[in-house]
Amino acid sequence: MVLKQDASASSAYSHTLLDAWHIRADSALCHDVQAGLEREWLVTNGLGGYAAGSLVGATTRSYHGLLVAALRPPVERTVLVAKIDEEVLMPGGTQLSLGVNEYQGGMIEPQGYRYLDAVALDGDIPCFFYKLSDTLTLEKRIWMEYGQNTTYIQYTLHRSSTTWQDNKSLPYANSDQQVSDAAVTLTLSPLCLSCDYHSTLQGSEDWRFLVEGSENRCRVRAQEGAPAYHLIADPSTAFTASGLWYWHIWHRSDHERGLPDQEDYYQPGLFHMTLTPGMRKTVVLMAETETSCSWGYGGAHHEELVAHALMRHQRRVRQILAVADRSIDNLQMSDPVLARLIMAADQFIVARPDYSDPSATTQPLRLSPNRKTIIAGYPWFADWGRDTMISLPGLMLYTGRYSEARGLLKAYISYVRHGLIPNRFPDAHEEPIEPIYNTIDATLWLFRALDHYISKTGDWSLLKELFLELSEIIQWHIQGTDFGIGVDPDDGLLRGGVPGAQLTWMDAKVDDWVVTPRYGKPVEVNALWYYALTMMETWAVHLSTDAALYGQLRSQVRQNFAARFWNEEGGYLYDVVDVNGVSQQNDATLRPNQLFAASLVHDLLSEQQVASLFQKVTAELLTPVGLRTLSPHDPNYHPHFAGDRYQRDSAYHQGTVWPWLMGAYVDVHLRVHNNPAAVVPLLEPLIRQLWSSCLGTLSEVAEPEPPYTPAGCIAQAWSVAELLRSWDLIRESLH
C-alpha cells in the first residue's frame, strides 16, 4: 500500500514530479495498522532533541517520544514523555479510545487507528485527523519550539463538512462554528519515563515518580536528581493525579533489531478538557530550564501564547524557504520537491555550543550560526565529522544557509588534532567524552565542503583565515599521523590502517571484528586526497603563497592513480590497493566507492575508463533507491539488512543499499551522458520515499533486493543532502 499522492502534482517532460509539499496519508493506510506501524513521523528543535512516533500513534521504538530532550545540546538526549493517549466522550455518551499501544504477541489495545482518518504535513508539522462521527473530527498537531526542549500537542475540534481528499489545503480547515451541543470531553493520558534514549525503562510496583500536580499542570521527575519536566494545559483543563504503570509496552522495531523490546511507562495523571467545534486546546511539554517556567504557559493567556509559538514556527518555515531561493516567492508551489527537501535538511542542523567556554553552561543557550553541527541521523546518531562534511553542501549551501556553514567549518577546524578532524563526538553516555578521531576521509571531505562554500559565497576571507590550518593538515598527512595514515613517497598515494580500526565510511565493527577494514590505499580516499591537493594548489595561488608542494604532490598522484587502481580485466577500479600494506595486493571487490574518482575530479581517469566503470556500477550496484555496497555476484554479498547487531553490521556495507551514494552516481551520469532529463527517473523513487517511510524525509539505508524496503535510521542527513544537491543540479532543466 502506498500513500496518496496529490492529484494536482506537476510534471516535467514525460515524468510525473510528485507534489512533495502536500504529503498525506489517507484513511485506507491509517486503518491498516500494520502499514501504519511501519511508517513514522519526526519533528526536531535545532538542539538535537526531537519528537517522533509511528503514524498510528504507537511507539515502535524505545527512541520514540513526544519530548526527547537534548539536555546538553546536541547530546544527552533523554526520553521524558513517550506519548499521550486520548479518550473522547461524545455528546451522546459514547467513549472513543484514540490511542494505540502494542504488546508482545501483536496484541494492540486500544485500537484508535480505527478512527484515524488522515495524516498530513502542514509544512513540517504532522497533523493527525480522527473522525469521531459523521459530523465531528478531532485534529492533533505536534511541533517543537526551535531552540528549546519544548513540544506542543494541540487539539482542535472540527465540524466535518469537507473531506481532506476534496481540499488541497489541510483537512477540515475553516469549517467550524462554535456549537455548544457538539461539545466533547477529551481525556489525555500522558505516558512518561526518564532515561537515556539508548535505554529502556523498567518500572516496579514500589516505584512511583515524583509528581507535583496543580489544577492544570504537573511537574514530573522519575526520582530525586532526575531531570524535571512540566506538562502544562490551559486553566480550563483539569489535572488529576493517578500514578499508574503501563507494563510491557512492546517495541516491534527494536525487536527486529535484536534490542531490548519491552518498556514500562508511567502515567502521572490525567488531563480533562472540553472542546467545542473551532476550539483549540494545547498541552505544552517542557523540560525544565531557567526560563521555561516564566513563559506564562498554564495561565489566562495560555492558548494565546501557544498561538504565538505556532506563528513563530510557521514564520521560521517561510524564512527558511525564502533564504533558500530569494528569486521565488512561493517555492513550495513552484518546486515542491526542493521545498520539502529544504525542510528535511533543516532537521539535521543543530547547535553544538562551545562547552570549553564556562558561560556555555552557566547562561541560557543562545542559538547563533557560529556553533552549528549536523546530526548524522535520527533517532540514534549524534554528529559525525564525515557525515557532516559530506552533508554540508546539500544541507547548508544549496539551502542558502551560508553563515551557518561558515561557522560549522571554523568550529570543526578548531577540533583538528594531528591533522585530523573528529570522526565523531561521543554521546553523553559514552566514555571517553573527548572527540574520537578514527577516520582517514572525514578531514579530506572538509576540503570539498570548503570548496563548495567558497564557490557559492565567494568568501575568500574564510579561506585566508583557515589556510594555515589547512596547510598543517596536509603536512600531517605527508609526514604521517594517527592510525597509520600517511603518504607513500613511492607513488604519492594516501595509505592508512592499523589492526582493529575502521577508518573509511564503510566502518562497521562488531566487538573486535572490523567487517570491511579496507586497510591500505582505498580508492575514494585517494580521489579525495587528489581533490584536497588540487584545491590547496589553487588556493595557494589565489592567496599568492607558495603552491609548489601541492602541485608536485598532485602531479604524482595523478601520474600513479589510474596505473595503480585500474583493473583492466574487470573494466573498473580496484577498491583498495596495497591491501594490508602488501605491495601490489589489490582488492578487486566491485563497490560504489570508485564513483568518487569520476565524480569529485575529472582528470584522474580517461573518459573511456569512466564510461566503463559507470557501466559496471550501473549493471551490478544500482537500485531504484541508491547503490548497493557490494555486487550481488560477490560471495560475501548479503541480500538482507535485518536481524540483530551482528547480522546487521555484517550486511551494513556488504550489499546494503545507501541512498546517499546516488549523489556521486548522478554526478558521473551527467558526466557520461550530459542529459539532466534522464536523471529525473533515477531520483523519483527516492522522492517517493518522502511518503513511504518517515514522512517528509529519507532513511539511512535500504534492503538490497526488491522491494528495497527502507531501513536503518528513519532520517539520515547525507541521504537528504545528496538528493537535494542532485535535484538542484537538474532542476533548471525541468522548466
Q: In Å, how far are 313, 386, 524, 554, 591 from 615, measured between CA atoms?
A: 46, 28, 18, 28, 13
Q: Give the number of other CB atoms < 10 A from CB of residue 412.
A: 23
Residue 393's φ and ψ, nearest 5 degrees, are -55, -50
Query: What's the domain range around 464?
Result: 336-478
Structural domain contains residue 23: no
Residues 277 and 370 in one domain: no
Q: Is the pLDDT of residue 174 over 50?
A: no
Q: Is the pLDDT of residue 457 over 50?
A: yes
- Runs of H (alpha helix) within 98-257: 252-256
CB 699 within 8 A of CB 33: no
Residue 17 — very low, low, confident or very high, per pLDDT cuts 50/70/90? low
Burial category of 300 from C-beta neighbours within 10 Å (exposed 0-12, middle 13-18, buried 19 and up): exposed
**What percentage of the chain has pLDDT greater than the value 70?**
92
- How does pLDDT run across 549-597, given as a tens digit for each residue? 999 999 999 999 999 999 999 999 999 999 999 999 999 999 999 999 9
- Give residue 123's region: left, alpha or beta (phi > 0; psi -120 to 50): left
Which of the pair, 163 or 1, is modelled with greater confidence? 163
Q: What is the mean pLDDT of residues 201-223?
A: 95
Cell of 408: 560549522
Burial category of 8 from C-beta neighbours within 10 Å (exposed 0-12, middle 13-18, buried 19 and up): exposed
Q: What is the pLDDT of residue 366?
A: 66
Residues 454 and 503 in one domain: no
What distance in Å separates the CA atoms of residue 162 and residue 425, rounded to the nearest whole number? Answer: 50
What distance in Å separates the CA atoms of residue 524 and residue 501, rounded to the nearest whole number? Answer: 18
Instruction: Report DSSP state, residue 734.
Output: G
pTM value?
A: 0.94
Last residue of a domain, one of 576, 591, 614: 614
Are β-strands 622-623 and 40-44 bridged in parallel, bridged antiparallel, or unpaired? unpaired
What SS3 state is found at 644? coil
What SS3 state is found at 208? coil
Structural domain contains residue 178: yes
Residues 205 and 57 in one domain: yes
Cell of 132: 469521531
Residues 58 and 177 in one domain: yes
Beta pairing partners, 420:
417
| Strands in 505-618 per DSSP E | 509-510, 513-514, 521-522, 566-567, 572-573, 576-577
CB 267 within 8 A of CB 187: no
Beta pairing partners, 498:
none
Residue 684 — very low, low, confident or very high, per pLDDT cuts 50/70/90? very high
Q: In Å, how far are 22, 506, 618, 665 from 592, measured between CA atoms?
A: 34, 11, 10, 9
Residues 554 and 419 in one domain: no
What distance in Å separates the CA atoms of residue 485 and residue 483, rounded to the nearest whole number? Answer: 5
What distance in Å separates the CA atoms of residue 248 and residue 268, rounded to the nearest whole number? Answer: 17
Q: What is the pLDDT of residue 156?
A: 98
Residue type present at position 6: D
Question: Any idea what the CATH number is for the domain that residue 51 is in?
Answer: 2.70.98
Residues 411 and 450 in one domain: yes
Map grid coordinates 613517497 to a residue: 489
Map grid coordinates 521555561 to a residue: 292
Q: What is the pLDDT of residue 164?
A: 44
- How does pLDDT run across 459-513, given as a tens digit for each residue? 999 999 999 999 999 999 999 999 999 999 999 999 999 999 999 999 999 999 9
Nearest one of 124, 130, 126 to 141, comparing CA atoms: 126
Report the number of distinct structural domains present in the chain. 4
- How does pLDDT run across 370-390, given as a tens digit for each residue? 889 999 999 999 999 999 999
- As a residue count, the chain comes to 735
What distance in Å separates the CA atoms of residue 707 and residue 693, rounded to the nearest whole number? Answer: 13
List, in order, residues 6 or more apart from 330 with CB less than 8 Å away: none
Structural domain contains residue 8: no
| Residue 234, CA atoms < 13 Å, CB-side half-sphere | 20
Residue 165 — very low, low, confident or very high, per pLDDT cuts 50/70/90? very low
Structural domain contains residue 583: yes
Residue 732 — very low, low, confident or very high, per pLDDT cuts 50/70/90? confident
Structural domain contains residue 319: no
Residues 526 and 427 in one domain: no
Residues 232 and 102 in one domain: yes
Q: What is the pLDDT of residue 292?
A: 53
Residue 14's φ and ψ, nearest 5 degrees, are -95, 5
Instruction: Report DSSP state, residue 328.
Output: -
List, in order, residues 6 or more apart from 630 with CB less than 8 Å away: 589, 590, 591, 636, 637, 638, 653, 654, 655
Structural domain contains residue 111: yes
CB 660 within 8 A of CB 524: no
Q: Is the pLDDT of residue 272 over 60?
A: yes
- How does pLDDT run across 646-671, given as a tens digit for each residue? 999 999 999 999 999 999 999 999 99
What distance in Å separates the CA atoms of residue 527 and residue 664, rounded to the nearest whole number? Answer: 12
Please state, rounded to an integer, the average pLDDT across all residues of the chain: 92
Instruction: Report DSSP state, residue 26.
Output: -
Last residue of a domain, one of 614, 647, 677: 614
Last residue of a domain, one of 445, 478, 511: 478
Q: What is the pLDDT of residue 104?
A: 92
Q: What is the pLDDT of residue 356?
A: 73
What distance in Å separates the CA atoms of residue 593 and residue 633, rounded to the nearest whole number? Answer: 17
Structural domain contains residue 633: yes
The continuous run of DSSP H or E covering 212 comes out as strand 210-213
Q: Per residue in 254-263, is it b (16+ CB within 10 Å) or e — as a string?
A: bebbebebbb
Residues 280 and 231 in one domain: yes
Q: Give the number of other CB atoms < 10 A from CB of residue 2.
A: 11
Instruction: Report DSSP state, residue 227.
Output: P
Residues 403 and 425 in one domain: yes
Residues 610 and 627 in one domain: no
Structural domain contains residue 317: no
Q: What is the pLDDT of residue 354?
A: 83
Q: What is the pLDDT of residue 358?
A: 64
Residues 442 and 542 in one domain: no
